[in-house]
Amino acid sequence: MLYFIILTRVCNLRCLYCGNDPDPRIEPLEITYDIWDLKRFVEKDPEPIIAFYGGEPLLRINLLEEIMDNIKARHWVLQTNGIFLDRLEEKYLKSFDTILVSIDGRPEITNYYRGLGTYERVLENIKLIRERGFEGDLIARMTVSGKTDIFLDVKHLVELKDPNFDHVHWQLDVLWDSPPYQRYDDFDAWVSKSYNPGITRLVNYWYEKMVKEEKVLGIIPFIGIMKTLLRGERTNLRCGVGINAFTITTSGRIIACPIAPEFEWNFLGDIWNTEPEELPWRVTISGPCLSCDIYHICGGRCLFANKTMLWGIEGFRKVCQTVRHLVNELERIKPRVERLIDAGVISEKDFDYPPFNNSVEIIP
């Protein structure tokens, strides 16, 4: 199973869609448990995957190194804003299977949301870790909000060379703030005039690259959904939280979703009194998702959004329409993708991603 380890709740950035204002009354800002207690819990799982999370986990590199030195894991994952990647020693850097770096697209978009100079620092650091021997999966993890042009920003990241990302994923800036729509001048207009048309253009671009270059570009939502469509699979919540992914908070509590430590529905136990096998399926998707005709493809999108409904049912359904449009566009090109596979231009194996739960959500 995948375990998010929150190394600190502190972050060095103040991104516009986050704010970086953790409440110590909910969870301590720093880890208060003994690392040996963490080891005893995690190593009861025969094949644990550990993902370092925050806050910004690289603010606590010494703690990260202590955990990697003393706990056995099948895979190591890091989610970071990328500012301190240059501080990772080569020994630890090369041990990561996946590093997800927050970057929102073109320089002007990334710097608008994440602070002046962030884009340039991130690219400088990912070039450095490539030069220092990181050969794992490097993922550009975008937050997509009202200033984003999804086509231009994803295309920009996909086409970067020296340095480059292996994959690009995005999460919509929706359903986690109240009152809703704070970073949109007109959310409905943004979806209908910018985001959904941009998804259509991006799907066409993705398919054209298959034809012209005989490769499947690493656009994670497209790959994950197309795999489901090609194989006729039925899926559950794509990120796996509450199923095969869990979070260990700074106090040692165990919760399902890492962004919701304040909610009782999310609490599953602690590292002292809970066994790993007791965790799966204790909290699951419910409500309107279960009767949706594309639930078997979407999986419910987001546990936090499903449980909290911070934008109300109307806002929730507006976001669902973005998922429906994405699925419809990929269904549109599915027959053509199948013909490319049959002709040997690409392989069905090109859609086998992720190889393990590396914390990507698939559904934006």
Domains plus CATH for the chain? Answer: 2-351 (3.20.20.70)
Written as six digits, the tokens of 351 are 């859609």
Task: State the Cα angle at 141 between 122 and 98, rounded to 5°.
Answer: 85
Mean pLDDT, each 10-residue run in order, the chain (364 residues): 98 90 94 98 98 98 98 98 98 98 98 98 98 97 98 98 97 94 97 98 98 98 98 96 98 97 97 98 97 97 97 98 98 98 98 97 97
Residue with tokens 């919760």: 255
Residue 20: the pLDDT is 75
Cα 115 from Cα 74, distance rounded (Å): 35
Instruction: Give the up-direction half-sphere exposure of residue 309: CA atoms within 13 A in the CB hemisphere.
Output: 10
Residue 21: the pLDDT is 83
Written as six digits, the tokens of 165 are 């990302």
Q: How many residues does the chain have?
A: 364
User: Which helix (H) or strand (E) segment is 171 a member of?
Assistant: strand 167-172
Residue 19: the pLDDT is 66
Whether residue 55 is preceded by a cis peptide bond, meaning omega within 30 degrees of 0, is yes
Of 9, 220, 199, 13, nearest to 112 by C-alpha is 13
Coil/strand/helix, residue 237:
coil
Written as six digits, the tokens of 94 are 């090369």
